[in-house]
Amino acid sequence: MHWLGAAQRGSPALIRFIVWVALRVSRTVARALLYPIVTYFVIFSVRPRRASRAYLARVLGRTPSIRDVFRHYHTFAAALLDRVYFLTGRHRDMTLSIHGNEPVLALVRRGRGVVLLGSHLGSFEALRAAGASEPDLDISMLMDNANAQKMMRILTPLDPALADSIISLGAPDSLLRAKARIDAGGLVGLLGDRLRPGDRAVPCPFLGATMWFPAAPFVFAALVGAPVVLCYGLYRGDRRYDLHFELLRERIELPRAGRDEAIAALAREYAARLEHHARAAPYNWFNFYDTWAEPARGEAR
Backbone angles phi, psi at 230, to 5 degrees: -80, 145
* The only residue of 177, 236, 239, 249 in contact with other proteins, by rule CB under 8 A: 177
Other residues' Cβ atoms within 10 Å of the Cβ of residue 117: 25
Task: Rule CB under 8 A: say whether 180 interacts with other proteins.
Answer: yes
Stated as kind and residue range, the H or E segment containing 130 is: helix 124-132
Per the CB < 8 A criterion, the answer to whether 130 and 139 are in contact is no
* The only residue of 14, 146, 158, 176 in contact with other proteins, by rule CB under 8 A: 176
Task: Rule CB under 8 A: say whether 194 interacts with other proteins.
Answer: no
> Stretches 1-9, 43-51, 133-141, 167-175: which one binds other proteins (CB under 8 A)?
167-175
| Rounded Cα distance, 153 and 3, in Å | 19
Task: Rule CB under 8 A: say whether 286 interacts with other proteins.
Answer: no
Q: Hey, what's the torsion of the CAs at 9, 79, 83, 276, to 10 degrees?
A: -110
Size of the site for other proteins (CB under 8 A): 17
CB of 12 to other proteins, least distance (A): 30
Per the CB < 8 A criterion, the answer to whether 194 and 211 are in contact is no
Residues contacting residue 89 through CB under 8 Å, at least 6 positions apart: 129, 132, 159
State the amino acid at position 100 in one-letter form.
Answer: G
Rule CB under 8 A: which of 242-281 touch other proteins?
none
Closest to other proteins by CB, 220 vs 286, is 220
* The only residue of 112, 179, 244, 277 in contact with other proteins, by rule CB under 8 A: 179
CB of 172 to other proteins, least distance (A): 4
CB of 7 to other proteins, least distance (A): 30
Residue 140 DSSP SS3: strand
CB of 184 to other proteins, least distance (A): 11
| Rounded Cα distance, 181 and 188, in Å | 7
Closest to other proteins by CB, 218 vs 235, is 218
What number of CA atoms fall less than 13 Å from residue 127's CA on the CB side? 32
Rule CB under 8 A: which of 209-228 touch other proteins?
216, 219-220, 223-224
Binding region for other proteins (CB under 8 A): 169, 171-177, 179-180, 198-199, 216, 219-220, 223-224
